[in-house]
């Protein structure tokens, strides 16, 4: 079985580089659209040189899940730490950001469950990237002083020599020390003056996105909060899969050109961690049967962090164990004349020609039925298919359900904070 698993790899769409326009933004002609690349896109400098096994991805997901679980119950004054392996060895989805005057191009990771942005800067000790932002070459860059209101909003703020504001934080198995900086940010054709971010001076570990991170959460230092006047706290994204053109999708900022006909569900707030995008998952249907799941497994509880979130950084959906076991068992029951096997961390796999039942997530006011590409993963030979979900790790006392990126692919996910709603519509991400 171990030998068989080694052939279960992420399949990639390989295109000739000369046919790509990797520097193009505005992928669908909208002025506030950014092209989103998967790390394994031919346009990505972070592309893995060798195939990545699903087992490796599942292990990274485990660390990411631990991180999110700690976020869910953390108070704002504390910094969560994920044990074990890093969240990601490189970002999962990246966008092109132009920082400074004149602009310096950085490919930053998108993270819907984080707020502050940070990028590696010139002189950084321990930064692995060869691409570093140099604030001395930007005539619009300035370091914030300790008395600036943004300093109080930074994670673990410190006052350094010269009364400048710094902060330190952890991300997976890595730590960063950064100076709080403001500079001009250009996204597609939109100019954001005085954008506040962390300029990394020192880093340890290997789990930092190489060229930095852009937080899309709803905390005070997130992109969405800093651009309320421009984007009105509204954005959507469409995450590509390996069949998408160039393995790329889009990030659409602002209320213009967002889908009109879209199913929505209310966003919920956890005061302990307001940045996470909680929704009310009320049930899961397998085939035509609503699965019997204990109410406590899906209930939203800000005191414990329990509930369901959407996250762009986790690859495979994770459900708390009682919910996952109920879904898995009903899924197995509906697959006729075939026995489930385990493969590479997944426990519901089948070989040969099998008819699979549908799976529908039932949110308050919105049902989402997963297409086969969002529900199943396949071996490189195509002979084995597995249910692409898993239970929360055994060593995590988690009460959090995470709707992950594979289940979101080729859907446009809308975050509309003024109307406190999350929307989903089918879309081929290009």
Contact at 8 Å (CB) between 249 and 45?
Answer: no
Closest CA to 251 of 20, 22, 31, 21: 31
Contact at 8 Å (CB) between 247 and 240?
Answer: yes
DSSP annotation string for 289-344? EE----HHHH--BTTTTBEEEE-SS-SSEEE-HHHHHHHHHHHHHHSTT---EEET
Backbone angles phi, psi at 218, to 5 degrees: -115, 20
Residue with tokens 């330190």: 168
Name the residues annotated as catalytic. Answer: 111, 311
Structure tokens at 56: 């490796």
Residues 73 and 233: their CA atoms lie apart, in Å, by: 24
Residue with tokens 């002609």: 29
Contact at 8 Å (CB) between 99 and 133?
Answer: yes
Q: What is the DSSP letter of 172?
A: T
Calculate ∠ Cα 279-398-1, nearest 5°.
Answer: 105
The radius of gyration of the chain's CA atoms, rounded to the nearest angstrom, is 21
Residues 59 and 69: their CA atoms lie apart, in Å, by: 15
Structure tokens at 70: 């700690």
Give the full edge-to-edge strand order of the sheet including 341-343. Answer: 341-343, 346-351, 384-387, 376-378
* Chain Cα centroid distance, residue 430: 18
Backbone angles phi, psi at 368, to 5 degrees: -125, 110
């Amino acid at each position: 079985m171990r030998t068989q698993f080694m052939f279960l790899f992420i399949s990639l769409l390989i295109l000739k580089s000369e046919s790509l326009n990797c520097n193009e933004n505005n992928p669908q002609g909208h002025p506030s659209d950014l092209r989103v690349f998967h790390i394994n896109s031919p346009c990505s400098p972070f592309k893995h040189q060798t195939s990545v096994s699903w087992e490796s991805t599942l292990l990274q997901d485990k660390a990411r899940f631990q991180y999110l679980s700690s976020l869910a119950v953390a108070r704002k004054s504390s910094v969560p730490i994920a044990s074990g392996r890093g969240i990601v060895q490189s970002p999962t989805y990246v966008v092109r950001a132009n920082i400074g005057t004149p602009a310096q191009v950085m490919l930053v990771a998108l993270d819907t469950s984080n707020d502050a942005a940070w990028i590696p800067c010139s002189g950084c000790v321990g930064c692995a990237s060869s691409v570093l932002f140099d604030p001395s070459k930007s005539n619009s860059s300035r370091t914030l002083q300790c008395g600036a209101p943004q300093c109080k909003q930074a994670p673990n703020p410190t006052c350094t020599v010269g009364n400048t504001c710094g902060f330190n934080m952890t991300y997976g198995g890595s730590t960063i020390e950064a100076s709080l900086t403001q500079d001009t940010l250009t996204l597609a054709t939109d100019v954001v003056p005085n954008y506040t971010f962390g300029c990394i001076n020192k880093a340890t570990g290997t789990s930092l996105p190489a060229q930095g991170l852009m937080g899309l959460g709803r905390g005070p230092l997130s992109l969405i909060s800093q651009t309320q006047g421009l984007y009105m706290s509204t954005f959507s994204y469409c995450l590509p899969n390996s069949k998408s053109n160039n393995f790329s999708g889009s990030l659409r900022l602002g209320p213009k050109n967002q889908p009109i006909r879209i199913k929505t569900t209310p966003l919920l707030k956890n005061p302990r961690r307001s940045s996470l995008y909680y929704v009310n998952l009320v049930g899961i249907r397998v085939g035509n049967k609503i699965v019997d799941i204990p109410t406590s497994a899906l209930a939203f509880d800000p005191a414990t962090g329990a509930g369901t979130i959407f996250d762009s950084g986790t690859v495979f959906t994770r459900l708390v164990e009682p919910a996952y076991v109920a879904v898995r068992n009903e899924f197995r029951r509906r697959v006729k004349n075939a026995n489930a096997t385990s493969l590479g961390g997944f426990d519901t796999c089948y070989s040969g020609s099998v008819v699979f039942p549908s799976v529908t997530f039932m949110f308050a006011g919105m049902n989402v039925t997963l297409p086969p590409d969002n529900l199943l993963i396949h071996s490189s030979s195509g002979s084995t298919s597995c249910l692409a979900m898993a239970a929360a790790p055994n060593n995590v006392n988690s009460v959090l359900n995470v709707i992950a990126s594979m289940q979101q692919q080729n859907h446009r996910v809308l975050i509309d904070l003024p109307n406190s709603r999350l929307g989903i519509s089918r879309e081929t991400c290009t």
